[in-house]
Amino acid sequence: MKDWFYSLQIFYLSMFQPSKLFEKINELPWYQGVLKTWVEDEKIQTQSKVLEIGSATGTLSSYLSMYYAVTAIDYNPKMIARAKERYPHVEFQVADALDLPFNDGTFDLVLASSLINVLDNKEALLTEMLRVCKEDGKLMLLFPLEGFSNVKLAELSVSLKLQGFSKMALKMWHKLAKKMSINLLEALLVDSEFKVLSSKEYLAGMVSTVLIGRKINIHI
């Protein structure tokens, strides 16, 4: 089929069935590969209590649940209903990322993929994520990175040997997704007790991930 057909399909789903579109993208090999590699690279301790914010239809949550005690939330009831249907062994619930229904210091790890970049109130999201994180806990964030060009996108698509819907989904994500920089994230954290510990790039620099932890206070 022609690229225009897949572009039209993606546009239609984004307008009328966004949960279906997110589900289809979440299951694409290039997207799943990034999420799984991201988790594996961070070498999270087993038995950790993990919260995924913005879990959509639960693909990453299900993968995490093979190794960790996972709780997952999303604001969209349809996505949570689909996630519960597909992965009944995972604890899913509808909740607002800016008003998390958990006590302070509940989780060892709090993570969110492709979420902070789309929210206007990024500082409020970070505040809530930090609140429910344990004293020695960590935050993991993934977001589309500013500065990724159309030339790099074309090179990435060829290197991944993408075709059809998968190829157009990558292109549309690059075109439509809100992007942000690590510098912005560091600025949001400057007055908090946390800082960016490390960052990595995936998909040839199309997305960035950051690991956030508490600053070490030295008392003299």
Segment 116-134, tens digit of pLDDT: 999 999 999 999 999 999 9
Q: Of 191, 79, 179, nearest to 130 (Cα)?
A: 191
Structural domain total, the chain: 1
Mean pLDDT of 200-206: 96
Contacts for 85-91: CB closer than 8 Å, 24+ residues apart: 86/57, 86/58, 86/62, 87/58, 87/61, 87/62, 89/62, 89/65, 90/58, 90/61, 90/62, 90/65
Tens-place pLDDT, residues 144-194: 999 999 999 999 999 999 999 999 899 888 988 899 999 999 999 998 889
Mean pLDDT of 65-93: 94
Domain-located, residue 220? no
Domain-located, residue 219? no
CB-based contact 143:125 (threshold 8 Å)? no
What's the pLDDT band for 218 if we cut at 50, 70, 90? very low
The reported pTM is 0.90
Domain-located, residue 50? yes
pLDDT at 9: 81
Tens-place pLDDT, residues 16-26: 777 677 778 87
Domain-located, residue 29? yes
- 201 - beta bridge partners? 208
SS3 145: strand
Domain-located, residue 75? yes
Q: Of 213, 217, 215, 214, nearest to 42 (Cα)?
A: 213
Distance CA 54, CA 79 (A): 10
Q: What is the CATH number of the domain that holds 8?
A: 3.40.50.150
Dihedral sign computed on CA atoms, order 105, 36, 43, 197 = negative
Q: What is the dihedral of CA 27, 31, 33, 39, to 10 degrees?
A: -100
Residue-number span of the structural domain to which 55 is assigned: 3-214
Distance CA 15, CA 18 (A): 6
